[in-house]
Structure 1
Amino acid sequence: MSMSRQNKISDETHQRIRTYIIEQVDAESALKMDPRVLERTVGKIVAEAVAEMRLFLNGYEQRALTREIVDDMVRLGPIQPCMDDPQVNDVLVNGTDQVLVERAGKLELTKHKFRDHNHLLNLAQRIASAVGRRIDESSPMVDARLADGSRVNIVGPPLALDGIYISIRKFSRTVMTLDSYVEKGCMSRRMADFLHLAAKARLNILVSGGTGSGKTTMLNALSQHISRSERIITIEDAAELRLDQPFVIRLETRPPSIEGKGEVTQRDLLRNALRMRPDRILLGEVRGAEAFDMLQAMNTGHDGSLSTVHANTPEDALLRLENMLNMGAHAMTSALVRRQLSSALDLLVQVERDITGMRRVTHISEVVAEGPDDVACRHIFAFRRKAEGGGEFVRTDYQPDYDRKMMASEVYEAYQEVIGRDAY
């Protein structure tokens, strides 16, 4: 018998058992059941179906089919094994026949596929309905968050020309520390010590980087050095920050309903957060008019605030931030916006992911006023690439001007030792 004939019979067998189980188990009840209880229940029904239909499936095949059916019912179907793999960071579905994963910064094509368009559509609709949205021709784009915190973007027809596309950024269960960055060669020990002191001394820090460079991971690492006695408010589109301090208030934006009502933006949450007596504000990513409110907060007693911005260089980050400030401050001149920027923001940390998938900190820079009407980055630490490949982390000869804030904290002596002028 040919291999294609064997596969055809297997598909038909699976479909018969699926139909049998759907008749036995109510889908709505299944969603409310503990997955382990559901798997045992479905396993018994699979065994009954195999006996009743006189099918030739061994124990391993029955268990695999049980997992596959349960994944379809309450998990993420064919892509659930990718979600369970701790080394996978992103799962990308390009239609029914192409599922890719990102490991260590590189994309890989997997063997997983969907049976047909309806199989993929059912998964997309289940993800969307869990956050009160729908995916159809009238609403072809959806942003959602899974129960484990992973971020999901779905695009369907008519915008998606080849079916449905699903992009999942997995929620990392491992929290990176500044020490972890050093151990992995992502920064030098001296850079980590400096960032530790900067966060502890309440410097206002912006983390900049491209897509997948690890901006939120760095923000998490910095947040670990905030005092446990401070009241912290986090504002995010999808909650990813993981703080273990006792006084943390977590706020999350809300997209508009199907009727286009009820939207709550980052700017709305930030303005409200200022009325909640925060010691520090952590804004997951600044990308619009909320930049103005964030810098206003930094300038009015909320030192030690942290945020991220999407940019490929420190200079690009400042330019993007200036453009966003102009969106929120209609009555301010460009010169005044730049002065606001230089007085509010202390430190810019640039992260990158290179072509090999390696993530590293390339610059730690002070944000300074340059003349009366301009703002610039002055690099304190940098990663210098070598012509033969690789590179090294160095301490530049620039001496930052953080004495006022450092002297007001208990870290001044340690700061003086770390910031010495010699190359590292």
Structure 2
Amino acid sequence: MVDARLLESVRETVMSDAGPVTPSRVAAAVQASGRLLGTAGALAAVEGISAELNGLGPLQVLVRDPAVTDIFVNGPGSVWLDRGGGLERAPVAFSSEGQVRALAARLVSVGGRRLDEGSPCVDVRLDGGFRVHAVLPPISTTGTLLSIRIRREQVFSMAELRQNGMFGSLVQTVLECMVKRRLSFLISGATGSGKTTLLATLLGLCPPGERLVLIEDAAELNPLHPHVVSLEARHGNLEGGGGVDLGELVRQSLRMRPDRLVVGECRGAEVRELLAAMNTGHTGGGGTIHANTAAGVPARLTALGALAGMSQEAVRLQAASAIDAVIHLERLGHGRSVACIAVMEDGPGGLVVGSALEIFAGRPRPGPGWPLLLLRLGLDADAIETGGFDTGSLAGLNSAGSVGTAESVLGTGTGRGRE
């Protein structure tokens, strides 16, 4: 823990002059304080005070672990983190509730917002890839709450995701086919299931000559692609002015000649903008959505559409013409993985999702939607046998050998295959 008197002394020294709070300025202020700390003690003090003044305070040490994706503070002595295998207690603590609140207020202010009794719940994005959500009492009954999502600059390749157990070779081939054939898709799943990670990787498969326009409430996507334009919504000020919502960003993006439109995670009325973006003739787009299962996506879309003033019929027509496939992710004990790939269509009873591939214990099994998915991928469903899914490749599904390698079935066309 950083000594409170030394911290205050350094704070006064550093803040007396304009300019960024750099480690060199902090080191000079520590030396000027006259404290006899020794070499190791001085280095530790500089590191701790720099984190308090310009970082995440006691949480800064947790960020060094590249596996950490989320940090949660439920109170001074209750700090949790997520490395991908579930929540675990972090070996750090705050000295008091006041220290937690001070850190939350500083982080929010750096993001251009204000955290106080008038604005007790605030969400901001900070430089360095941090997305911070803070809640103050009495909204929070246990004290100041902090939720920090860490956006890592590393983007995984399809091979790396496969190696980490997110999917097998057959699912990898199908996903690559979907991008190649410009199918529009939604990635569904619970919080922390890997939706954004998979979406960023799939966008990296797009041809380098295409222009990707990403529209997000908070910028998190960072695909490895040479031509990416990212648009982020902006909250209004205290008077309610200056806000730019997702709807306005979609309208602006259509004037930017996008080859693929991607509307990031939607949780509410912004589903209207998601469907509108995918219905503007820009195939191959994608997005993420929270849902318990792939089959639950239509109900989720209908519920969110109601928040936007859309009728069930309007949601059905928009979604049926815009979305080709749903990729559902689950977070299990061994990690994040693709649980199902399904197709969306307009059925007699309304919008339905038909399972095309379901993965059980790492083995894919065909579902009723498999022939339709093959059709949309530009493949011949009649030439496919459904008994060879354990081979791990599309070629293995065809005993006659007419399908061939994954590369040979991708084709070069960009049609949706609905005819």
TM-score range, shorter chain: 0.7 to 0.9
Amino acid at match of 2:15: D
Q: Residue 18 of structure 2 is aligned with which of 16, 29, 33?
A: 29
Q: Which one is further off, 93-102 or 136-145?
A: 93-102
Mapped to 2, the partners of 1:263 and 1:336 lie a distance apart of: 27
User: When the two structures are superposed, what TM-score results if normalisation uses the length of structure 2?
Assistant: 0.85
What is the deviation of 1:232? 1.3
| 2:152 maps to which of 168, 172, 187 | 172
> Take 2:4 and 2:315, find their aligned partners in 1: how far apart are those partners?
63
Deviations 1:195-240 (Å, cap 9, x if unpaired)? 0110121100100000111111111111111111112110111111
Change (3 A) 1:288 1:117: closer
Does 2:361 align with 1:381?
no
2:364 is aligned with what amino acid? Answer: V
| Correspondence for 2:338 among 361, 367, 372 | 361
Give the superposition deviation at 1:85: 1.8
1:335: Cα distance to partner? 4.1
| 1:136–1:157 contact (8 Å) kept in structure 2 | no
**Tell me, what secondary structure is at the counterpart of 1:400?**
helix
Find the aligned partners of 1:183 and 1:215 in 2 and give their Cα distance: 17
Code of the residue aligned with 1:394 in structure 2: it is: P
1:40 paired to 2:10: no
Change (3 A) 1:353 1:403: closer
2:96 aligned residue? 116
Q: Could you tell me how far 1:271 is from its partner in structure 2?
A: 2.4
Aligned pairs (5 A) from 1:69-84:
69-84=49-64
Structure 2 residue runs of 5 or longer lacking an equivalent are 391-419
* Aligned match for 2:217, one of 237, 242, 245: 237
Q: What is the letter of the counterpart of residue 366 of structure 2?
A: T
List aligned pairs for 1:7-406, cutoff 5 A. 14-26=3-15, 29=18, 32-33=20-21, 35-45=22-32, 48-50=34-36, 57-328=37-308, 330=310, 334-335=312-313, 337-354=315-332, 356=333, 358-371=335-348, 373-384=349-360, 391-396=361-366, 398=368, 399-401=370-372, 406=377
SS in 1 for 2:247: helix
**Farther off after superposition, 96-105 or 293-302:** 293-302
Superposed displacement of residue 161, structure 1: 2.2
Count of aligned positions: 388
The CA deviation at 1:19 is 3.7
Letter in 2 for 1:346: D
Distance apart, 1:106 and its partner CA: 2.2
- For each residue in 1:376-424, what CA deviation from the matched residue of structure 2 results, as whole angstroms up to 9, or x when unmatched? 222222112xxxxxx13214054333567545xxxx69x999x763323
1-side partners of 2:186 and 2:11: how far apart?
51
1:18 Cα deviation from its structure 2 partner: 2.8
In the alignment, the residues of structure 2 paired with residue 402 and residue 161 of structure 1 have an alpha-carbon distance, to the nearest angstrom, of 49
Q: Kindly tell me: are residues 24 and 325 of structure 1, through their superposed partners in 2, closer, same or farther at Cα, counting changes over 3 Å?
A: closer
Deviation at 1:290, TM superposition (A): 3.2
Mapped to 1, the partners of 2:16 and 2:158 lie a distance apart of: 45
Aligned with 2:389: secondary structure?
A: coil
Q: Per the alignment, in what secondary structure is the counterpart of residue 261 of structure 1?
A: coil
Counterparts of 1:420 and 1:276, CA distance in 2: 44
With over 3 angstroms needed to count, the CA separation of the structure-2 counterparts of 1:163 and 1:403, relative to structure 1, is closer
8 Å contact kept, 1:149–1:238: no
Cα distance change, pair 190–232 in 1 and its aligned pair in 2 (3 A)? same
Give the structure 1 partner of residue 405 of structure 2. none
Report how far residue 180 of structure 1 moved: 1.7
Report the CA distance shift for 1:295/1:163 in structure 2 as closer, same or farther (over 3 A).
closer
Q: Any idea what SS the aligned residue of 1:299 has?
A: coil
Q: Which runs of 5+ in 1 are unaligned?
A: 1-9, 51-56, 385-390
**% same residue:** 33
Change (3 A) 1:165 1:297: closer
Aligned equivalents of 1:122, 1:362: Cα separation in 2: 42
Look up the match of 2:403.
none
CA offset digits 1:117-162 (Å, max 9, x no partner): 3322221111111122111111111101121122110001221223
Whole-angstrom CA distance in 2 between matches of 1:121 and 1:96:
10
Whole-Å Cα distance in 1 between the matches of residues 350 and 11 of structure 2?
Answer: 66
* SS across alignment from 2:220: coil
Structure 2 residue identity aligned to 1:141: C
TM-score (norm 1): 0.84
**Counterpart-to-counterpart distance in 2, 1:191 and 1:217:** 16
Answering whether residue 394 of structure 2 is matched by residue 423 of structure 1, we say: no
- CA distances 1:57-99 after superposition (whole Å, capped 9, x unpaired): 4432232122111211111111110122212111111122222
Distance 1:306 1:319 in 2: 18
8 A contact 1:322–1:341 mirrored in 2: no
